[in-house]
Structures are given as structure tokens and as C-alpha cells.
Amino acid sequence: MTTTDDFSVVRVRTRILAVRAVLVAAVITVAFVPGAFADDGPAAVVASGAKRFERHCALCHGKDAKGFGLYLSTLKTKPSNLTLLAKKNDGCFPFAELYRIIEGRDMSSSHGTREMPIWGEEFKAMVPGESETLVQGRILEILMFLDSIQER
């Protein structure tokens, strides 16, 4: 018989593994991609992520990430309010889950329809021959920005 405590332990372990995976990807990006992140540190990464978000995500999710972008009326499903992700997840930003959604690995119905572009493929197509590490870095920048605007 499983208990609520069993599910809590599994959830904590899953989050720990997700955080480790993201940290490994970030370390690989910083270590092997010259100039992947500016010398200014995390603030520069968040600023870069904000620009990337505005360029690739704001048309649907809105500049403020609350789901009211210019394309809202053309979509079948209203885009998520991305500032409430941590609040809806017990105060924990769902970093790994969002990474999989943005990259395109998570095609589950929990995201609704797949009207959202698969940005992993889109980022690869922007510069033919671009390394997987650079694509991961772009997604991580967006995630760092989104984490920074969470209402907790």
C-alpha cells in the first residue's frame, strides 16, 4: 500500500534528479561553449533569456508572460501564464519539465495541444550545423528568465 509520504519522497527524488540534469547541462554549456554566457554572471543569462523569450515566446505568451500575446485570438488553447508555474507547483519552478516541453521531448496532453513550436528543433534549424550544446544553452537562458519572474 502506498502512502502520501511515499509519493512525497518520489517527488523530491525526481526534483533532485531534474536539478542535477539541468546543472550538468549548464556546466557543459559554460565549460565547452566559449562566450555562451556573458562574464556578468547570472544576471546576464537572465537578461539574454528575456530577449530570447521576447523574440520567440512573447507573441503567444505575452511580453509579461501572462498568456496574453498578440496571437492569443488565433490559438485554440490559451497560452499558460508562465509567471505562476512555481506557485502551481508548490513553490518549486518545474525546470526539467519545462525544458522537456520547450525542447519537444514532452508531447504529453498536460501541455494541451502542440500548437507551441518545438523550440529545440527550431533553434537547431536557425543555424545549420549548430551544436546541441548551443541549443541547450538557449533553452536554459529562457528557463532562467522564466524562473526569475515567478510569483511565489
CA distance 57 to 116: 9
Query: Which pTM was predicted?
Result: 0.68
DSSP per-residue string spanning 100-150: HHHHT----GGG-SS-S--HHHHHHHHSTT--HHHHHHHHHHHHHHHHHT-
The predicted structure's pLDDT at residue 31: 47
What is the enclosing helix (H) or strand (E) of 43?
helix 42-56
The predicted structure's pLDDT at residue 117: 67
Would you give the distance in Å from CA 70 to the centre of its chain?
21
Q: pLDDT by residue (tens digit) across 49-77?
A: 999 999 999 999 999 999 999 999 999 88
Q: pLDDT by residue (tens digit) across 36-52?
A: 544 567 899 999 999 99
pLDDT for 2 beyond 70? no
Q: pLDDT by residue (tens digit) across 85-118?
A: 999 999 999 999 999 888 887 665 444 455 676 7
Would you give the distance in Å from CA 77 to the centre of its chain?
19
